[in-house]
Amino acid sequence: MDASSPMLKDKVAIVTGGGDGIGKGIALTFARFGADVVIADRNQIAGEQVAEEVRAVGRRGEAMTTDIRDFEQVKAMVARTVDELGGVDILVNNAGGTRHMAFLDMGEAGWRKHIDLNLMGLFNCTDAAVRAMIDGKRQGSIVNISSIEGLRAAPMYSVYAACKAGMLNFTRSMALELADHGIRVNAIAPDFIGTPHTMPSMTPERIQGVLRGIPLGRIGSVEDVAGACVYLCSDLGAWTTGITISVDGGTWASSGWTRDDKGDWSLFQ
Ligand SMILES: NC(=O)c1ccc[n+]([C@@H]2O[C@H](COP(=O)([O-])OP(=O)(O)OC[C@H]3O[C@@H](n4cnc5c(N)ncnc54)[C@H](O)[C@@H]3O)[C@@H](O)[C@H]2O)c1
């Protein structure tokens, strides 16, 4: 990606889960496009490493160790961001996740655990950051990292699908509620993104299976997601709010069509 034009120059961005995977990709891309970045990750060592990489490209990078499930920690992280970096322009609600799990094996505890991480974390960070944006009279931008599983059925990931779908309609609702404050709220729905977390379990056969359903014929990268974030958080996206960008190589559009062994599109394999 060409960062010769600093489209996020001097904006202050908070990226939750910015210590690894997609969040790390977003944090480093934001820095290359001119933003100062707070890495709000519960993993202190990972956060410090990414903050160091942000500083290496000449921007301010701060690791503020935060568990997004803990509202007090989140409020303290946002207050520190305002004190040390002057305000909040951008929030990327990225930290989240799931495990493969049958609904009947999940139980109440498993359900709550997912809600805590994926939806309570979303509330905590959005509440604290929006108040800081309004107090600081910032024309803020919020990006919620949902998933293609928030758009389609996801057997064995039912609670994750519920959380990620909830995130998408929360995005639309908040876009309307916050429009008068000049704060834009959008979402990204990625398909499979290659990260240090997702790739180790992928055998060549599994990768081949995944690729059958991705029209562009490759697995996504963290930079693919980061590129959409730069658009949404810069002036390029100044008239964009309440939308979901599918960063998925065309999977959502293909809607069940997959390539057969000859590479032809088919609904029946
Ligand atoms: N990787 C994919 O294929 C994919 C696809 C679609 C959507 N997503 C979504 O993108 C987001 C990032 O996914 P990823 O694969 O990069 O994740 P990851 O597991 O690789 O990285 C997540 C980061 O978040 C941090 N984190 C976890 N729980 C936290 C908490 N409670 N508080 C603060 N930090 C926390 C971790 O320490 C880690 O650094 C998630 O919301 C995920 O649901 C991922």
Q: Encode pLDDT of 11-46 as tens digits.
A: 999 999 999 999 999 999 999 999 999 999 999 999
Which region, left, alpha or beta, applies to residue 126 given φ > 0 means left and ψ of -120 to 50 means alpha? alpha
Say yes or no: domain 12-266 is CATH 3.40.50.150. no
Its pTM surpasses 0.95: yes
| Cβ 34 vs Cβ 6: under 8 Å | yes
Any atom of ligand 1 within 6 Å of the Cβ of 34: no
> In the prediction, which pLDDT does 189 show?
98
Any atom of ligand 1 within 6 Å of the Cβ of 68: yes
pLDDT digits (tens, 9 = 90+) for 60-111: 999 999 999 999 999 999 999 999 999 999 999 999 999 999 999 999 999 9
- Per DSSP, the three-state class of 90 is strand
Cα 198 to Cα 213: distance, rounded to the nearest angstrom: 17
Atom of ligand 1 nearest to the CA of 196: 20
**Using the 8-state DSSP alphabet, how is residue 234 labeled?**
S
Residue 17 alpha carbon to ligand 1 centre in Å: 6
Burial class (CB within 10 angstroms; exposed 0-12, middle 13-18, buried 19+) of 202: middle
- Closest residue by Cα to residue 124 from 42, 245, 12: 42
Domain ranges of the chain: 12-266
**Is pLDDT of 125 > 70?**
yes
Cα 41 to Cα 61: distance, rounded to the nearest angstrom: 13
Residue 4 alpha carbon to ligand 1 centre in Å: 29
Any atom of ligand 1 within 6 Å of the Cβ of 15: no
> In the prediction, which pLDDT does 268 show?
79
pLDDT digits (tens, 9 = 90+) for 153-174: 999 999 999 999 999 999 999 9
**Is pLDDT of 269 > 70?**
no
- Ligand 1: residue of 42, 73, 125, 157 to mutate (most ligand atoms within 8 A of CB) is 42
Distances (CA, A) of 75 to 40, 61, 87: 11, 19, 13
pLDDT digits (tens, 9 = 90+) for 232-259: 999 999 999 999 999 999 999 999 899 9
